[in-house]
Amino acid sequence: MTLHNLQVFIAVCEEGTMTDAAKRLHMTQPGVSKIISDMERYYETVFFMRKNRRFYLTAAGKQFLEDSRKVIQAFSRLEGNARHNQETKTITMGCTSGFGFSMVADVESAFHEKYPRCRLFMRDSSSKTIQEMVIKGECDLALIQHSSSDERLHREVICRNSLIAVRAPNYNLNSNSKTLSIEDLAGENLILLEKERATRTLIDKVAMERNIVLDPVWTSSSPANVKELAARGEGVAILFEIQVRKELTSGKLVQIPMELDIENNFYIVYRKDIWLTDEEQFLIRLCREYAP
């Protein structure tokens, strides 16, 4: 039995199919299948029940998964201790566009003051995509707007932020209300992020609960585009305050009072089974310090 066997077993458990596990490990599907068969034969037990091409853990399989993760984590700790005095050359950090890039830029600048020779690579995408990249080891850690519960991840609330409505200073609202309700917002020229983005999901949920249909005139996958469209006077944008803080300070956008009070947690996440280097621990501390 080798660490590689355990890693293959864990990958099959986490991916649910031999094919997906093979893609994750850059192996062939028959190669993954043989390792699992050899392990079951070696231990004379059945780890998986197979149904509709997917694999479901037996009781023995669940226990073996728990123990395998402990072994991999212990080995990671062993290597971390052995390499403790070595410099970390690179860190890949994921960041959902829900975070203000000014905050990330401040973190990056402060990080390089202490570790100038450690390269920091940034990956920007949706919360779901970034979280999957962390799970697969494509990102060392990440700042995300929405985090689903996953036993493989350590997740920590790093800040809490509110959704706000904004417009250009010269944009005239359709509503005469001093404070806009969800009904008032539905009557405006809305500029929203695409569906399935965490920001959009929150506002759509509130609208659905009140039987209101939001029909935006503009949708985009990028908060930067949403802000720019609002600044051009195309309509009313709804974003997190952290995303438009710079534009509000400069006067490029102004906030519109809303009756809605929608807040959301922002998280820092990383795998539980990794050993955090000094550089990674310092980066995490900076994220806590600079989070609004």
Helix (H) or strand (E) holding 239: strand 236-240
pLDDT at res. 147: 66
Q: State the Rg of the chain over Cα.
A: 23
| Mean predicted confidence (pLDDT) in 93-98 | 81
Query: What percentage of residues in the chain have a pLDDT greater than 90?
Result: 39
pLDDT one-digit tens code per residue, 176-226? 888 999 999 999 999 999 887 778 888 888 899 989 989 999 999 888 899
| Mean predicted confidence (pLDDT) in 152-179 | 90
Domain locations along the chain: 3-82, 90-159+265-290, 161-263
- Rounded to whole angstroms, how far apart are CA atoms 122 and 23? 24
Q: Report yes or no: 233 and 168 within 8 Å, Cβ to Cβ.
A: yes
pLDDT at res. 261: 85
| pLDDT band with cut points at 50, 70 and 90 for residue 166 | very high
- In CATH terms, 90-159+265-290 corresponds, of 1.20.1250.20, 3.40.190.10, 3.40.50.2000, 3.30.70.1400, to 3.40.190.10
- Rounded to whole angstroms, how far apart are CA atoms 231 and 224? 11
DSSP for 267-291, please give it. EEEEETTSPPPHHHHHHHHHHHHH-
pLDDT one-digit tens code per residue, 119-146? 889 888 888 888 988 988 888 999 988 7
Helices (H), 156-222: 182-186, 198-209
pLDDT one-digit tens code per residue, 66-78? 899 888 877 776 7
Residue 84 has pLDDT above 60, yes or no: no
Fold for 161-263, please state it: D-Maltodextrin-Binding Protein; domain 2 (3.40.190)
Mean pLDDT in the chain? 87
The answer to whether 90-159+265-290 and 161-263 have equal CATH topology is: yes
pLDDT at res. 274: 77
pLDDT at res. 83: 59
Look up the pTM and report it. Answer: 0.62
At 75, phi and psi to the nearest 5?
A: -70, -40
Domain 3-82 top-level CATH class: mainly alpha
| pLDDT band with cut points at 50, 70 and 90 for residue 81 | low
